[in-house]
Amino acid sequence: MTVATVVLAVVVAALSLALVASVILARRRAAIDRAALARLTAENHALRERCDAAHATAELRARMVAHVSHELRTPMQAIMSLLALLDEHGLPLEQRRQHLSTLRGSTEDLLLLIDGLLDTAQIEGKRPSLRADDFSPRATLEQLVDLLGPSAHKRGLELRAALAPDLPPRLRGDRLRLRQIVINLIGNSIKFTRQGHVELRVAARVEDEVAHLQVEVSDTGVGMSPEALGRLFREFARVGDPSVEGTGLGLSISKQLVEALGGRLEVDSDPGVGTTFRFEVRMPLLAALPAEQAAAADNRPRVLVADDDSAGRELLATALRRSGYAVDGVADGAAAVASALARPYVAVILDVQLPELDGPDAARQIRDVRGDVALIALTGHTEIDVLGRCKGAGIDAILIKPVKLETLRATIVRVAAQRTQPVDLAVIRGYVTAEDPAFVPGLIDVYLREAERDLEAMEEAAAGQEIARVAQLAHRLKGSSAGFGARLLAERCQSLYAAARAEQPVSHELAALAREFGRVKSALSAERTRLISSSS
């Protein structure tokens, strides 16, 4: 091997080693670069996650602030409304006390919200914590109507309330959340209603000691399209007039609260017609408190005022309360009938032109069941046909508007006294003589025996379609009843006689006559016992 060959081999070997070293170095550098890239990627990912978390936290805080702000505004609105009412000059002391009591309750609600701020918001889980309060649903809802009424009136709207007369006296549940939901719904309706009314309707169905509270809020506002309804309950969504102030949270919060209470918030709406929100929640029944039991046993006579004019209705109610009456108010004829048949009113005051059922039709349904309640009509009409309809419906007195309050009070006293007593005992006592103390008790025996026989004969004749016989017997019983001071029973006999003569169905008239005779029999039997005792 020559020297040249050896040198060439050495050079080739050196070049090979250099190439291998270069490859190894390149690989090491690539590995280092990959590791650096991996670290950089991981760091970027971590930074991105922290950035996203920061954005989520900021968004959560913004939503929480908006949510809490909305919740705090609910009792604050109540407080501001009450302060405005208290600032009115000439407000009666009784109303001031009522407003102060409600104001105290609103401030307590505000404290509850503040004390449980983090717990009640719980936006992330969208499951607000609930309280278990013992409360009166009627008192709670009536306070809300009183609070929000001025806001509605300021916009030229009427805020109506139709609370079923058979609402349970006490429930156990989250009163604060129920208030929030109803205030949000009524407030929303007031915002988007330019004319007409907003109405709160509440009823209850009781099953196994649990009340299913059914709540509706309806309005005559702008309404919504189907597309708008699809976005209605989204947070921060604004549906409807963009000029109306709001955060877009009220309905979203209401939906969450209804669902937290175990219900579902539903809505029906027609553009240009109006919107109705409804939900149903379940709450256990509770026994009435002693104070409520005392109120239920209140000896004050109770009066029902039915008038669709809320201002006029409240004026009458306030005047009658000052006169010593307990007063309830309703806005339509159907509610008047339901309430009159559920509570022991001494008098029902009916405006002739009522929605649902007008005054005479409502009076007729009440009179079919109750003969002991005074029915008084208020009307601005003096037409003979209107007055005739009122008399034919069993209305005791018709007062032409405007009515002096003194006249109304005197009419209630007079008519209620006539209706409360099934028998004018002064009539029967006028027959009493010292010479024959057994004479009147004997008369009572004869009258009751013959009246019972006539009533049984009328029922048999009606069953056999002997209408002429029914009319004959009713006419006879009318005369004898009037002679014993049973004026209301005589009226029932006259109504039955008129129906039979006109060959109209007599079952309702006959049933009403039988009920009234039961009252007369009890009163005369008690008087007979008293007369016998006093003569012995």
pLDDT per position as a tens digit, 53-111:
666 656 655 555 655 555 566 566 667 666 766 666 666 776 777 777 677 666 656 65
Distance CA 172, CA 252 (A): 25
Domain with CATH 3.40.50.2300 in the chain: 299-420
pLDDT of residue 234: 60
The DSSP letter of residue 434 is S
Q: Into which CATH architecture does domain 93-288 fall?
A: 2-Layer Sandwich (3.30)
Average pLDDT of the segment spanning 313-341:
84
Average pLDDT of the segment spanning 504-530:
85
Decide if pLDDT at 121 tops 50: no
pLDDT of residue 420: 72
pLDDT of residue 38: 75
The candidate with the shortest Cα–Cα distance to 518, out of 414, 373, 371, 363, is 371
The DSSP letter of residue 353 is S
The band of 480, judged by pLDDT with boundaries at 50, 70 and 90, is confident
Average pLDDT of the segment spanning 388-411:
83
pLDDT of residue 12: 64
Whole-angstrom distance between the N-terminal and C-terminal Cα of the chain? 168
> Are 100 and 86 in contact, with CB atoms under 8 Å apart?
yes
Domain with CATH 3.30.565.10 in the chain: 93-288
Q: Into which CATH architecture does domain 425-535 fall?
A: Up-down Bundle (1.20)
Higher pLDDT, 234 or 37: 37
The DSSP letter of residue 124 is T
pLDDT of residue 373: 87
Average pLDDT of the segment spanning 391-418:
83
CATH superfamily of 299-420: Response regulator (3.40.50.2300)
Higher pLDDT, 286 or 242: 286
The candidate with the shortest Cα–Cα distance to 114, out of 69, 83, 79, 179, is 69
Domain with CATH 1.20.120 in the chain: 425-535
Distance CA 12, CA 303 (A): 123
Bridging pattern class, strands 397-400 and 374-379: parallel
pLDDT in tens, 190-243: 888 888 899 999 999 988 889 999 999 999 988 877 776 666 666 544 445 544
In the three-class reduction of DSSP (H, G, I as helix; E, B as strand; rest coil), residue 200 is classed as strand
